[in-house]
Amino acid sequence: MSRPHPDYGPPPPLRADGLRIIPLGGVGEIGRNMTVFEHAGRLLIVDCGVLFPEDFQPGVDLILPDFTAIRDRLGDIDALILTHAHEDHIGAVPYLLRERRDIPIIGTRLTLALLNAKLAEHRIKAVTREIREEERHTYGPFECEFFAVNHSIPDAVAVAIRTDAGLVLHTGDFKMDQLPLDGRLTDLGGFARLGREGVDLLLSDSTNAEVPGFVSSEREIAPVIDGIFRDATRRIIVACFASHVHRVQQVLDAAETHGRSVCFVGRSMVRNMGVARDLGLLRVPPGLIIDARDVDSLPDRNICLISTGSQGEPLSALSRMANRDHQIRIQAGDTVVLASSLIPGNENAVFRVINGLTRYGAKVVHKGVAKVHTSGHAPAGELLYVLNATRPSNVMPVHGEWRHLRAHAKLAEATGVPADHVVLAEDGMVIDLLDGRARITGAVPCGFVYVDGAAVGDVGEPSLKDRRILGEEGFITITVVVDAAAGKVIVGPDLSARGFTDSPATFDSVARLVSDGLADAMRGGMNDTAALQQLVRRTVGRWVNEHYRRRPMIIPVVLEV
């Protein structure tokens, strides 16, 4: 699945005083963030996440960064730094560890705790080292300094990487809520100190670069949630991301105030909130949490469920409630709060859930109608602060699709970074920092690596193309056994179709066409199976096009006795 880049060849050998940066994911897309830094023959990796498939990648479970470029250099990796515990930053770690089990993994307390919970499900025990913001640690030739950043999960960090080639700051994912619930601000002062020292290259989160202005504080959600709790007379169901500890905290606080017990619903919600509570990051009043079994024993007005499924995932509890396919039966007067973003591509699924819940009489509150969500990523106004604080010589927008990267590039230029010092790269491109300039010097083969079921990488573009055809058009198989030497059809043709039509007994006329065509062809001397199959395919294809104006996949199976 790895493909060479169409515009760039292999990079030149890296100079001893140079730093090489290779994004293996996350640049040109939102997801599977992974950046490889190379210096003095050694490698440092920042993040190793997954990407979720789009509609043109049907049936795929996950998409991994392409490890091809580092596969024969696994021994050179001095550390894997995880900036925070979101899936698009840690989800591919189990797959990287399959290739080398003892890569030292660096992260904050919550990040490692959530990683370890995930690795336990994969039955992997990793080598981890806990770090905190404001600490400095050296991994091989990479001197790293960590900075607190505020994001939609606690305990996120940015990392500054010092080498002989210069100082690089990688922000990770961040925003700059000035009133964060936990008081842990993005360390803009630290960024400014780096700026005074001289940042040679800034890699910064581009997700919201198109969005003007500043984030609302997470604190502004609390009064809205409180109002919902005050007004609701029956059950309240809040759906949000299973890692959004602060959002869950605000719901717990509201539940406590308004005398509702809380039940966590969904495996990852239960798991993550257990971890957050154990680490003291989630304050849970004694007796507040109840078991799912006990929900029915309390009056509706004393119940609050906190659930996964805010993206309309079809198998989630929330989707099943919307279809009356869950033990919790939605009733008129229930209130459902989607306290989450709406990730592009999920709109139809989310609206289906909202419509289903509404149909059964629930009141559905979502960010389109009330301030029940604020983004985790810095919009343009905040990105400017970071650009101005760090005054970087070179900027490489990361964590974004092309539209985000370009918007971020414009912001960098607006703060005075020369356009030719802004590196607009894509996954697989090789950027070298040399003599204070960052430039694209080549590319390594890089592609989508698909996880489907138990297998990694066996499903690629050919299978996906077939799936897209099959999923749109279905298929027709034509099986026939011939005695080519005798020029006779022995068995068949046997036609069957799936995903093509609901009508039975459609194929009598084309079966005759196939049968006659084969007999003619064999009488004319055609006795090669491949040629006979081709004949069958053409006959059926023409018939389908004439009668249906469709293009199902046509699978001729001509067997010889």
Which residues participate in catalysis according to the annotation? 205, 377
Using CB under 8 A, count the residues that bind a copy of itself: 67
**In the complex with a copy of itself, which residue's Cβ is closer, 102 or 347?**
347
Task: For residue 452, say whether it is annotated as part of any ligand binding site.
Answer: yes
Which residue lies nearer to a copy of itself by CB, 127 or 561? 561
| Least separation in angstroms between CB 38 and a copy of itself | 26
Q: Which of 470, 511, 513, 519 binds a copy of itself (CB under 8 A)?
A: 470
CA nearest to 284, candidates 308, 232, 248, 309 = 248
Three-state secondary structure of 473-520? HCEEEEEEEEECCCCEEEEEEEEEEECCCCCCCCCHHHHHHHHHHHHH
Supply φ then ψ for residue 520, to 5 degrees.
Answer: -55, -50
Indicate the length of the chain as a whole number: 561
* Least gap, CB of 347 to a copy of itself (angstroms): 4
User: Is residue 428 near a copy of itself by the rule CB under 8 A?
Assistant: no
**Sign of the CA dihedral with 314 first, then 319, 321, and 322 last:** negative
* Number of DSSP helices (H) and strands (E) in the chain, helices first: 14, 25
Exactly one of 219, 326, 468, 488 binds a copy of itself (CB under 8 A); which one?
468
Question: Is 173 part of any known ligand binding site?
Answer: yes
313 touches a copy of itself by CB under 8 A: no
Please give the C-alpha separations between residue 400 and each of 32, 373, 427, in angstroms, as whole numbers. Answer: 11, 21, 11
* Cis upstream peptide for 104 (omega within 30°): no
Which range in 94-102, 117-125, 291-299, 475-483 contacts a copy of itself by CB under 8 A? 475-483
Annotated binding-site residue? 49:
no
Q: Is 557 in the site for a copy of itself (CB under 8 A)?
A: yes
- 243 in a known ligand binding site: yes
DSSP assignment letter at 547: H
* Cβ 50 to a copy of itself shortest distance, Å: 17
Site string for a copy of itself, 477-516 (x = CB under 8 A): x-x-x--------xxx-x-x-xxxxxx-------------
By CB under 8 A, is residue 418 in contact with a copy of itself? no
Q: Annotation-wise, does 170 bind a ligand?
A: no
12-24 in b/e burial notation, b at 16+ Cβ within 10 A? eebeeebbbbbbb
Alpha helix segments (H runs only) across 105-187: 109-121
CA nearest 140: which of 78, 80, 70? 78
Surface-to-core class of residue 100, CB atoms within 10 Å of its CB (0-12 exposed, 13-18 middle, 19+ buried): middle
Q: DSSP E strands: which ranges in 10-140?
A: 19-25, 34-39, 42-46, 62-64, 77-81, 105-107, 128-130, 136-139
**How far apart (Å, rounded) are the C-alpha atoms in residues 57 and 27?**
19
Q: Which of 137, 406, 439, 488 binds a copy of itself (CB under 8 A)?
A: 406
Least distance (Å) between residue 520 CB and a copy of itself: 22
H or E element that contains 123: none
6 binding a copy of itself? (CB under 8 A):
no
Residue 144: which H helix or E strand, with range? strand 142-149
- Per rule CB under 8 A, is residue 413 in the interface with a copy of itself? no
SS3 content of the chain, % helix, strand, coil (to 5): 35, 25, 40
Binding segment (CB under 8 A) for a copy of itself, from list 18-26, 119-127, 193-201, 399-407: 399-407
Among 124-132, 221-229, 298-306, 340-348, the segment contacting a copy of itself (CB under 8 A): 340-348
CB 74 within 8 A of CB 103: yes
Site for a copy of itself in 26-85 (CB under 8 A): 28, 54-55, 58-59
User: How many angstroms separate the first and last alpha carbons of the chain?
Assistant: 38
Exposure string for 530-551, b = 16+ CB within 10 A, e = fewer: eebbebbbebbbebbeeeeeee
Q: Does 401 bind a copy of itself (CB under 8 A)?
A: yes
Work out which of 268, 388, 415, 463 binds a copy of itself, going by CB under 8 A. 463
Is residue 462 a contact point for a copy of itself (CB under 8 A)?
yes
Which pair of structure tokens corresponds to residue 4? 């060479």
151 labeled binding residue: yes
Nearer residue to a copy of itself within complex by CB, 116 or 515 = 515
From 79-87, 162-170, 199-207, 362-370, span contacting a copy of itself (CB under 8 A): 362-370
- What is the spatial distance between Cα 416 and Cα 195, in angstroms, rounded to a whole number? 14
Residues 195-254 close enough to bind a copy of itself by CB under 8 A: 210
Among residues 359 and 371, whose Cβ is nearest to a copy of itself?
359
Residue 472 near a copy of itself by CB under 8 A: yes
Q: Which residues are annotated as a binding site for Zn(2+)?
A: 84, 86, 88-89, 151, 173, 399
Q: Which residues are annotated as a binding site for substrate?
A: 242-244, 373-377
- Footprint on this chain of a copy of itself (rule: CB under 8 A): 28, 54-55, 58-59, 210, 344-345, 347-348, 351, 354-356, 358-359, 364, 368-369, 401-403, 406, 452-455, 458-464, 466-468, 470-475, 477, 479, 481, 490-492, 494, 496, 498-503, 547-550, 553, 555, 557, 559-561
Q: Which residues are annotated as a binding site?
A: 59, 61, 84, 86, 88-89, 151, 173, 242-244, 373-377, 399, 452
